[in-house]
A and B are shown apart, each in its own frame.
Chain A
Amino acid sequence: MATIYLDNAATTKVDKNVAEKVKKVFLDSYANPSSQHSCGKEARKLVETAREEIANFIGANPSEIIFTSGGTESNNLAIRGLAKANPEKKHIITSVIEHPSVLETCKDLEKQGFSVDYIGVNEEGIVEGADVKKKIRKDTLLVSIMHVNNEIGTIQPIEEIGEVCKKKGVYFHSDCVQGFMKLGIDVRKMHVDLLSVSGHKVHAPKGIGFLYVRKGVRVSAVQTGGGQENGLRSGTGNVPGIVGLAAALSVKQEVTRIRKVRDLLVKELLKIPGTRINGSLKKRIWNNVNVSFYGIEGESLMLMLDKEGICVSTGSACASNKLSESYVLKAIKVPELYIHGSLRLTLGEISEKDIKFVVSKINEKVEKLRKISPFKLEMSDGK
């Protein structure tokens, strides 16, 4: 049975060309990039070339790129590092739909005496710039708002929020893990001071990412040691990963084709009775579908599809003593009997033919689970 992989927001397959370049580094340029000998110099050169390519790509200077292990570390370094270096300001603004690597970091800082405002989103899943502006205070250090949401794919008004922050003299961080390579990123246009990226979401290996730190922004290291990466991120440089991340910049993005397949998928899914799309369809990344089915539970649906070779994810999960809903779907007020029945499908290589198969299987499994469920669509407000 062939696998149909529809979970590209969780992680992506490493691109062939990227993998070849990474392999070459493993075998030929394995020296420590901090070593003084010629082999070390060669590895260092690879790192610095990659840094330049990545900086150029987002309109930054090479010295503004700090390589990390990925999105989680970049978000931690951005928020904790800024907080550490600027102890006089104790207020942070973020949104309720951020990734846990931002939310949990902010919660941890609350325990250390910071006050944090978690601003809500509208029912489309969009943070409103005016809401951010209203919350800015004299002691606000940082606004952290993600670029593209990982669950519902909604695109946030980053440029607008960046402008507000710039005017108010507040630092602005954006978690661009889901937007990088999918939408244009220009750090000047976005008015960001800090920006996080992860390699494994963009066909580069796992365990590599970077944080953009605008020149002049004071950030302290959270991981101490040998002082690599300008003292901001100690640890031997991940040369294969870094080379892979730079190589991933040339991976062709099939925007038009995938958007078309995605739109077809949405259209076909909406033919299933009692179905809703979660989050704005307009302000949404081109490979994301987040759909809910009335009266059934997402994990069981996900498992049934898995048995058919279809890999998707769901916002529903069993917590320690209850079935817990996705906090993102809760934030956009998905109705009770839809909120547990969500699937996220994030498209990659898939063809239109495969999509038709996927829709027919979803239809079949939804019907099966609805037969098992005590909640019947007839009795509901389902379309």
Chain B
Amino acid sequence: MESNCDYTKAVFDHFQNPRNMGEIEDADGVGTVGNPSCGDVLKVMLKVDGDKIEDVKFQTFGCAAAIASSSMMTTLVKGKSLGEAKKVTNKDVAAALGQLPPIKVHCSNLAADALQKAIGDL
């Protein structure tokens, strides 16, 4: 049986040194997905300047895969245009992290969802 925690180097790196973690006080858009009774919770905050994502921050309650996916997602969209960010999917985040153990794929599925929700909130 494959272990739950056989993560790639990229996952470990983003888990241990999460990028863009924290809060944006005067965020232009906020998206929260998940709830603690059924698992991971992810909050994404955006600061935009015209069409550009000037800043993005996240907060995550979840396993290492969930934290790493959140972090990776922010690096995929920071400084990008809203049009580019709208195209980012959960699959893109998972691909950027390399292979996730099969049981962990769902843990990465919140990252892009929360991003899209935050964009919708703008």
Which residues does A use to contact B, with CB under 8 Å? 295-297, 299-300, 303-304, 307, 316-324, 336-337, 340, 371-375
Give CA–CA (A328, B4) in the complex, Å.
20
Whether B78 is near chain A, meaning CB under 8 Å from some CB there, is: no
Question: Are B60 and A373 in contact (CB-based, < 8 A)?
Answer: yes
Which residues does B use to contact A, with CB under 8 Å? 4-5, 15-16, 18, 21-22, 32, 36-43, 59-67, 103-104, 106-107
Question: Are B21 and A371 in contact (CB-based, < 8 A)?
Answer: yes
Give CA–CA (A373, B61) in the complex, Å.
5
Question: Are A307 and B16 in contact (CB-based, < 8 A)?
Answer: yes
Q: Point out which of B37, B38, B39, B106 has the most chain A C-beta atoms below 10 A from its C-beta.
A: B39
Among A297, A303, A373, which residue has its beta carbon within 8 angstroms of that of B59?
A373
- Report the minimum CB–CB distance from B4 to chain A (whole Å): 6
Question: Are B106 and A320 in contact (CB-based, < 8 A)?
Answer: yes
Beta-carbon nearest neighbor of B39 in chain A: A323
- Report the minimum CB–CB distance from A369 to chain B (whole Å): 8
Q: Point out which of B37, B38, B41, B61 has the most chain A C-beta atoms below 10 A from its C-beta.
A: B61
Give CA–CA (A52, B118) in the complex, Å.
69
For A374, the chain B residues whose CB sits under 8 A away are: 32, 41-43, 59-61
Question: Are A322 and B4 in contact (CB-based, < 8 A)?
Answer: no
Give CA–CA (A40, B40) in the complex, Å.
58
Question: Are B59 and A320 in contact (CB-based, < 8 A)?
Answer: no
Question: Are B59 and A318 in contact (CB-based, < 8 A)?
Answer: no
Given contacts A299-B64, A336-B37, 19 further A-B contacts (CB under 8 A): A296-B61, A297-B63, A297-B66, A299-B4, A299-B63, A300-B15, A300-B62, A303-B64, A304-B16, A318-B63, A318-B65, A318-B107, A323-B38, A323-B40, A336-B36, A371-B22, A372-B21, A374-B60, A375-B41
For B42, the chain A residues whose CB sits under 8 A away are: 374
For B39, the chain A residues whose CB sits under 8 A away are: 318, 322-324, 340
Give CA–CA (A357, B112) in the complex, Å.
38
For B16, the chain A residues whose CB sits under 8 A away are: 304, 307
Among A297, A303, A319, A337, which residue has its beta carbon within 8 angstroms of that of B62?
A297
For A296, the chain B residues whose CB sits under 8 A away are: 61
Give CA–CA (A340, B61) in the complex, Å.
10
Beta-carbon nearest neighbor of B68 in chain A: A300
- Report the minimum CB–CB distance from B110 to chain A (whole Å): 11
Beta-carbon nearest neighbor of B70 in chain A: A372
20 examples of A-B residue contacts, CB within 8 angstroms? A296-B61, A297-B62, A299-B63, A300-B63, A303-B64, A316-B63, A317-B4, A318-B65, A318-B106, A319-B103, A321-B106, A323-B39, A323-B107, A336-B36, A340-B39, A372-B59, A372-B67, A373-B61, A374-B59, A374-B60
Give CA–CA (A317, B62) in the complex, Å.
10
